[in-house]
């Protein structure tokens, strides 16, 4: 299997369009992660069903967040996307997040060309408020049965803040 991190660039951060690889489909409770060393998707664990992902979950290639993993992305679509699919995605914001005292931010994106919505989602203000509440609730509580209080949502940032975080993650990747 090809290593996404070797052949797929992060994208046009300044232009607001990045490449994202899907790890976990929306609605799944399977914690699937990119195994960089083996260049394959790996089932890490099965979470309790009540903690299924509220959005598709993936990563931006050739990035490293402060936790040492690829920078995470939450992909807002109306249907689940398959594991391993990549898409060009429009950056609309970021969930600033801490997991076990490590920064583990989640860039929020939508497909760059979503004709179903008429490309109507251009910022976090265009996302249904209920979905933002579900995302915040999920990340504040998805580890409660294992380690209560180990995750903290710091808040949401706009696309400009997300781009800053992406640029820093690309720099970390390049300096690794």
Q: Which residues are annotated as a binding site for substrate?
A: 31, 45, 57, 142
Q: Whose CA is closest to 72, among 38, 98, 49?
A: 98
Reduced to 3 states (helix: H, G, I; strand: E, B; else coil), residue 156 is strand
Residue ranges of domains in the chain:
4-174
Q: Are 74 and 107 in contact (CB under 8 A)?
A: yes
The structure's pTM equals 0.96
Q: Tell me the backbone φ, ψ of residue 106, rounded to 5 degrees.
A: -125, 110
CATH label, 4-174, candidates 3.40.50.2300, 3.20.20.80, 3.40.50.300, 3.90.80.10: 3.90.80.10
H helices, E strands: number in the chain: 3, 10
pLDDT of residue 91: 98
Residues 28-80 have pLDDT tens digits of 999 999 999 999 999 999 999 999 999 999 999 999 999 999 999 999 999 99
Residue by residue, DSSP assigns 24-59 as E-TT--EEEEEETTTTEEEEEEE--GGG--SSEEEE
3-state secondary structure at position 130: helix
pLDDT band at 1 (very low <50, low <70, confident <90, very high): low
Residues at the annotated binding site? 31, 45, 57, 67, 72, 104, 142
Instruction: Mark the binding-site residues for Mg(2+), compressed into ranges.
Output: 67, 72, 104
């Amino acid at each position: 299997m090809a290593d996404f991190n070797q052949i797929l660039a992060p994208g046009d951060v300044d232009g607001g369009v990045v490449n994202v690889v899907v790890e976990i489909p929306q609605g799944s409770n399977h914690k699937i992660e990119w195994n960089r060393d083996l260049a394959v998707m790996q089932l890490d664990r099965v979470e309790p069903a009540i903690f299924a992902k509220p959005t598709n979950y993936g990563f931006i290639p050739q990035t490293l967040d402060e936790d040492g993993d690829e920078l995470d992305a939450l992909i807002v679509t109306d249907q689940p996307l398959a594991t391993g699919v990549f898409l060009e995605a429009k950056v609309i914001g970021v969930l600033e997040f801490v997991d076990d005292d490590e920064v583990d931010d989640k860039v929020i994106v939508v497909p760059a060309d979503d004709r179903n919505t008429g490309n109507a989602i251009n910022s976090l203000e265009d996302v249904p408020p209920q979905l933002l509440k579900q995302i915040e609730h999920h990340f504040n509580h998805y580890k409660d049965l294992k380690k209560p209080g180990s995750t903290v949502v710091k808040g949401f940032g706009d696309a400009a803040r997300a781009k800053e975080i992406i640029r820093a993650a690309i720099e970390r990747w390049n300096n690794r």
